């Protein structure tokens, strides 16, 4: 079982993700690159396509992308564009982007204008809340279904969409069950392993992922991760952190990362789509607007409260903010989150990171110092 768990976790890592897309294509079925956690994967699944979350190249050389992009802009987008321009993503049949932030829009602009992918979809995701935003976003999702159908997708029917929601909700339930096991004194998964699992869900066909994780859950229930030490329990917060090795560095200091606030991990699956709330698109719109959101949205106070709640639920001793350099939404909300954590009496450290893991020594030193402080407190 341990080998099976490792294989599932490995399947989500950058080096291994393309395999799922290529296998899918070998069956004559299209693959759609997903550029943001606000893209409703259910609609893509319902159209008979594989929603495949795009990550950036791990190569530090991003010279081709820098022809177009400013050096001081979101590094994740720069690395994604580098992959596009090198042809690493030529297997994609389509790509769907959003206005998660303007940086992503501009990366998508270059991607689209340089024309590397057969078709493109774009969804405007409101950053506001309330009925008007929900209705608008719901209409955007319907339009996305039309785009997919026009490019070789199966008709998205109410039945196929409901089925897709069920499958994705199952994925959410399973991942959440796995995360629940991190609340224990001896967590079942390390932070890096948990992120790996979530990443696998964003690349693999969902049915396959679900059956694997379902089979593994009984094993996880009695497992204690071999990675995590006996040091303080931490929550790690970041955007676009798709490299578990960051968490490995933190856990290398003896700390246990017991929860994350990551768009590509906990926030990707935390809340289900509530199908009892009428129309499927409306339900999807609410899920992908609110559940839980990142700093692009206006309601920073609710997001900060969510982090505080997670700290309490998972009995974390402190929070590590790892802002990706030039990720503007993260950079701008960091002072607010730091002050909210201070108010709540939660020790926190704010660090800035690159997209790919660099400066390991510096990160380790800062983490060791933070962990020591926490050990002194507890």
Partner 1 sequence: MNFFEEEIAKLSRRVKKIGENPIPGKLKSNKLLYEVELELRQQQLEAWHRNRPFVEPGLFQPLLQALGFEIGDYIMAADRTSHADQHFDTVRTMGFPDSLCDRTIVQLAMLNEQHMPPPVLVVMHNNACEAIKLSANALGRLSNSQMYAVDVPVNAEENPEETLAYVTAQLHELVRFVEARFPGHKFDEALFEELLEADRVATECCRAVYEARKAVPCPVEGRDAFRELRLPSWFSNWRPVVQYFREWRDEMVERAKKGISSMQEEKLRFLWAVSGPFYFDPFPLLAERGVAVPFFHYGMAGRMWGELYPNYGEEHMFGRILTPMEEMARFVMYNSWAGLGHRWLNDTLRVARDLKVNGIVNFIQVGCTAISGLNTLLAENSERELGIPTLNIEGRMLDATFFDQSEFETRMDVFIDSCLDRKAAV
Residue 110: CB minimum distance to partner 1, A: 6
Q: Would you state the structure tokens that stand for residue 239, as one six-digit string?
A: 């955007």
CB atoms within 10 A of CB 207: 12
Nearer to partner 1, 20 or 108 (CB): 108
Spacing of C-alpha 50 from chain mean position: 17
Residues binding partner 1: number (CB under 8 A):
44
Residues with Cβ within 8 Å of 351's Cβ and at least 6 positions away in sequence, in order, are 320, 321, 322, 323, 363, 366
Task: Of 179, 183, 214, give the one whose Cα is nearest residue 195.
Answer: 179
- The interface region with partner 1, picked from 224-232, 236-244, 334-342, 356-364 by CB under 8 A, is 334-342
DSSP class of residue 302? H
From CA 350, how far away is CA 57, in angstroms rounded? 25
Residue 177: CB minimum distance to partner 1, A: 34
Q: What mask, x for binding partner 1 by CB under 8 A, covers residues 160 to 199? A: ----------------------------------------
Nearer to partner 1, 207 or 343 (CB): 343
Residue 242: CB minimum distance to partner 1, A: 20
Q: Which one of residues 272, 329, 348, 363 is an interface residue with partner 1 (CB under 8 A)?
A: 329
Residue 54: CB minimum distance to partner 1, A: 16
Nearer to partner 1, 110 or 162 (CB): 110
Q: Are 43 and 11 in contact (CB under 8 A)?
A: no
Helix axis angle, 191-201 to 2-10, nearest 10°: 60
Residue 47: CB minimum distance to partner 1, A: 20
φ, ψ of residue 324 to 5 degrees: the values are -70, 130
Sign of CA dihedral 159, 91, 116, 89: positive
From CA 223, how far away is CA 266, in angstroms rounded? 20
- The interface region with partner 1, picked from 30-38, 46-54, 83-91, 296-304 by CB under 8 A, is 296-304
From CA 204, how far away is CA 13, in angstroms rounded? 11
Residue 121 binds partner 1 (CB under 8 A)? no
Task: Of 36, 6, 4, give the one whose Cα is nearest residue 227.
Answer: 6
Residue 82: CB minimum distance to partner 1, A: 13
Nearer to partner 1, 228 or 334 (CB): 334
Laid out side by side, the sheet with 348-353 consists of 256-262, 233-238, 318-324, 348-353
Q: Which one of residues 335, 343, 359, 360 is an interface residue with partner 1 (CB under 8 A)?
A: 335
Q: For the chain, how many residues are written?
A: 378
Residue 156: CB minimum distance to partner 1, A: 19
Residue 358: CB minimum distance to partner 1, A: 18
Q: Which one of residues 63, 87, 113, 276 is an interface residue with partner 1 (CB under 8 A)?
A: 113
Q: Are 37 and 263 in contact (CB under 8 A)?
A: yes
Q: What mask, x for binding partner 1 by CB under 8 A, covers residues 130 to 149? A: x-xx--x--x----------
Residue 109 binds partner 1 (CB under 8 A)? yes
Q: Which one of residues 350, 364, 366, 372 is an interface residue with partner 1 (CB under 8 A)?
A: 350
- DSSP conformation letters of 75-115: HHHHHHHHHHHHTTTTT-SEEEEE-SSHHHHHHHHHHHHHT
Residue 67: CB minimum distance to partner 1, A: 6
Residue 25 binds partner 1 (CB under 8 A)? no
From CA 225, how far away is CA 18, in angstroms rounded? 27
**What residues numbered 252-291 form the site for partner 1, per CB under 8 A?**
none
Task: Of 52, 71, 63, give the one whose Cα is nearest residue 14.
Answer: 52
Residue 126 binds partner 1 (CB under 8 A)? yes
**What residues numbered 46-105 form the site for partner 1, per CB under 8 A?**
67-70, 72-73, 77, 99, 101-103, 105
Q: Can you give the binding site for partner 1, defined by CB under 8 A? A: 67-70, 72-73, 77, 99, 101-103, 105-110, 113, 122, 124, 126-130, 132-133, 136, 139, 295, 298, 300-301, 326, 328-329, 331-336, 338, 350
């Amino acid at each position: 079982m341990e080998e099976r768990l490792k294989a599932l976790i490995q399947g989500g890592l950058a080096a291994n993700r393309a395999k799922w897309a290529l296998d899918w294509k070998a069956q004559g079925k299209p693959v759609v690159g997903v550029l943001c956690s606000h893209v409703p994967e259910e609609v893509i699944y319902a159209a008979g396509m594989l929603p495949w979350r795009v990550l950036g190249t791990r190569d530090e050389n991003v010279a081709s992308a820098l022809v177009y992009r400013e050096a001081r802009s979101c590094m994740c987008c720069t690395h994604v564009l580098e992959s596009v321009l090198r042809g690493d993503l030529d297997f994609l049949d389509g790509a769907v982007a959003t206005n998660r932030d303007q940086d992503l829009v501009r990366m998508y602009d270059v991607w689209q204008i340089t024309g590397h992918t057969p078709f493109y979809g774009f969804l405007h995701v409101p950053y506001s809340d309330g009925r008007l935003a929900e209705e608008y976003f719901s209409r955007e999702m319907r339009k996305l279904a039309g785009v997919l159908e026009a490019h070789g997708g199966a008709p998205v029917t109410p039945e196929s969409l409901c089925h897709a929601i069920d499958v994705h909700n199952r994925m959410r339930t399973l991942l959440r069950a796995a995360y629940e096991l991190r609340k224990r004194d001896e967590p079942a998964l390390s932070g890096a392993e948990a992120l790996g699992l979530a990443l696998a869900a964003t690349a693999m066909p969902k049915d396959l992922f679900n059956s694997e994780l379902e089979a593994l859950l009984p094993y996880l229930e009695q497992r204690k991760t071999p990675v995590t030490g006996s040091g303080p329990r931490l929550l790690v917060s970041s955007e676009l952190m798709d490299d578990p090795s960051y968490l490995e560095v933190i856990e290398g200091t003896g700390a246990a990362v017991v929860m994350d606030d990551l768009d590509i991990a906990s926030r990707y699956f935390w809340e289900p789509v509530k199908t009892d709330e009428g129309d499927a698109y409306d339900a999807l719109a609410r899920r992908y607007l609110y559940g839980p959101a990142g700093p692009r949205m206006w309601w920073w106070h609710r997001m900060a409260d969510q982090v505080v709640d997670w700290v309490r639920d998972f009995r974390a001793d402190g929070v590590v903010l790892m802002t990706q350099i030039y990720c503007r939404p993260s950079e701008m909300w960091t002072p607010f989150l730091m002050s909210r954590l201070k108010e709540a009496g939660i020790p926190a450290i704010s660090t800035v990171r690159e997209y790919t893991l660099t400066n390991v020594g510096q990160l380790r030193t800062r983490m060791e110092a933070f962990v020591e402080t926490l050990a002194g407190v507890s």
